[in-house]
A = this chain, B = another copy of it.
Amino acid sequence: MNPERIKKVQKLIADNGYDVIICTDMSSISYLIDVAPSHMMERLFALAVPRSGKPKLFVNSLYRIPESENYDVEYHSDDDIPTSGLAGYISGTKVGVDKFMMAKFLLALMDERKDVEFSIGSFIIDEARMIKDKDEIEAMRYASRVNDMVFALIPGMLEEGMTETELADKLAREYVRLGDPDNPPEPLVCFGEGSAEPHHTNSNRKLRSGDVVLVDSGQRTFGYFSDTTRTFFFRSITEEQEKVYRIVREANRLAREAIRPGARFCDIDRAARDYIASQGYGEFFTHRLGHCIGRDDHEEPSVALNNDAVIRPGTCFSVEPGIYLHGRFGVRVEDVILVTEYGYEQLVHASKDIIVVK
């Protein structure tokens, strides 16, 4: 239970001129009131946070929510119109809804409350979540330590003829052994030309001599995520592969070096992007530099050219430049860092050496 977090959010609600924020993101709801039923699926689960006073949870009566002095609960059944309690609850005229709220609930609310102005308000909770508190920072460190241990095992696991899915399964078992036993992740494993696709899916592609091996993975432990990418070389490395690897690794370093008081998210992205462009590979770095991370693997905001917000101590984000040569190979080197008062703390300690597995 986190009355402090609710207070922090309510101050931001007032500062931003909202009357109430409607939160449907499970991670945000559990962040605020420590309640996270599973299997909610298509049903409404919404926490209304007013500018002051207790938040109220609107939930299907199939789910039993623990009683608490920190929030009220209103139940509805499968036969009710799920949004009608929420529509009746809203007071004021400026309501911020969750960026992930389902259209079916939003349009029903807008229809019932034409007197209200609805806009995306979840940035308020995202902003609160962006700045990690002491316990959250410890959990972030722990998650990355587990990830470091698993990544250290990868070179020893590679065997000619194994499939991407097999390596992913082996890694998942290590996470179960070393990290959270109840929460095996699904590591992304890319062999050879698959590494050139930033959103490849594990397949039965077999590992062959000369392949690039890209692994992007992280587990949620104690409620918080790690996220690391490393790129290995199986049996041999070409001159071009080594060159690309060095460029990406240097871009990663330069981006981290740009993390200092007063820097903006876009400056950090640009530090990596400009360097990759200066080396002639600009068009092959096809995604944002990174994303914030915490209770979710991807949190707001992005570390991207279009985000000119100034970074703040307590924020954790990924730094993951990449170069993707379609049909051939790709390299990505991803760390997670914590912004501090004077710079940053590196949370990922997996080796960035050029590793050619013989």
The reply on A278 being an interface residue by CB < 8 A is no
A102 contacts across to B, CB distance below 8 A = 99-103
One of B78, B101, B120 near A288 (C-beta < 8 A)? B78
Closest to A182 in B: B165
Closest to A36 in B: B201
A89 contacts across to B, CB distance below 8 A = none
Contact B100 A302 (CB under 8 A): no
Contact A103 B120 (CB under 8 A): yes
- Among A91-126, those with CB < 8 Å from B are 97-104, 106-107, 118-120
**How far, in angstroms, from A39 to B326 measured CA to CA in the complex?**
19
One of B38, B201, B298, B306 near A199 (C-beta < 8 A)? B38
A63 contacts across to B, CB distance below 8 A = 199
- Among A67-101, those with CB < 8 Å from B are 77-79, 97-101
Contact B103 A100 (CB under 8 A): yes
Select the residue from A99, A188, A305 with max chain B CB neighbours within 10 A.
A99
The reply on A286 being an interface residue by CB < 8 A is yes
**How far, in angstroms, from A310 to B212 measured CA to CA in the complex?**
56
Copies of this chain per assembly = 2
Task: Write out, one digit per residue, whether chain A residues 16-51 have a CB within 8 A of any chain B CB (1) or not (0).
Answer: 000000000000000000000111011000000000
The reply on A304 being an interface residue by CB < 8 A is yes
A104 contacts across to B, CB distance below 8 A = 99-100, 120
Task: Write out, one digit per residue, whether chain A residues 178-199 have a CB within 8 A of any chain B CB (1) or not (0).
Answer: 0000100000100000000111
**How far, in angstroms, from A78 to B37 measured CA to CA in the complex?**
32
The reply on A287 being an interface residue by CB < 8 A is yes
One of B64, B99, B326 near A197 (C-beta < 8 A)? B64
A119 contacts across to B, CB distance below 8 A = 107
The reply on A61 being an interface residue by CB < 8 A is yes
Report the interface size for chain A: residues with CB under 8 A from the other chain: 41
**How far, in angstroms, from A25 to B6 measured CA to CA in the complex?**
32
Contact A79 B305 (CB under 8 A): yes
**How far, in angstroms, from A333 to B322 measured CA to CA in the complex?**
51
A199 contacts across to B, CB distance below 8 A = 37-39, 62-63
A304 contacts across to B, CB distance below 8 A = 78-79
**How far, in angstroms, from A122 to B104 measured CA to CA in the complex?**
10
Closest to A165 in B: B182
Given contacts A64-B197, A97-B107, 7 further A-B contacts (CB under 8 A): A38-B199, A39-B188, A77-B286, A98-B103, A99-B104, A100-B102, A102-B103
25 contacts between A and B (CB under 8 A): A37-B201, A39-B199, A61-B286, A62-B198, A62-B286, A64-B326, A78-B287, A78-B304, A78-B306, A79-B305, A79-B306, A97-B103, A97-B107, A99-B102, A99-B103, A100-B103, A101-B102, A101-B103, A102-B103, A103-B120, A104-B120, A107-B118, A107-B119, A107-B120, A165-B182
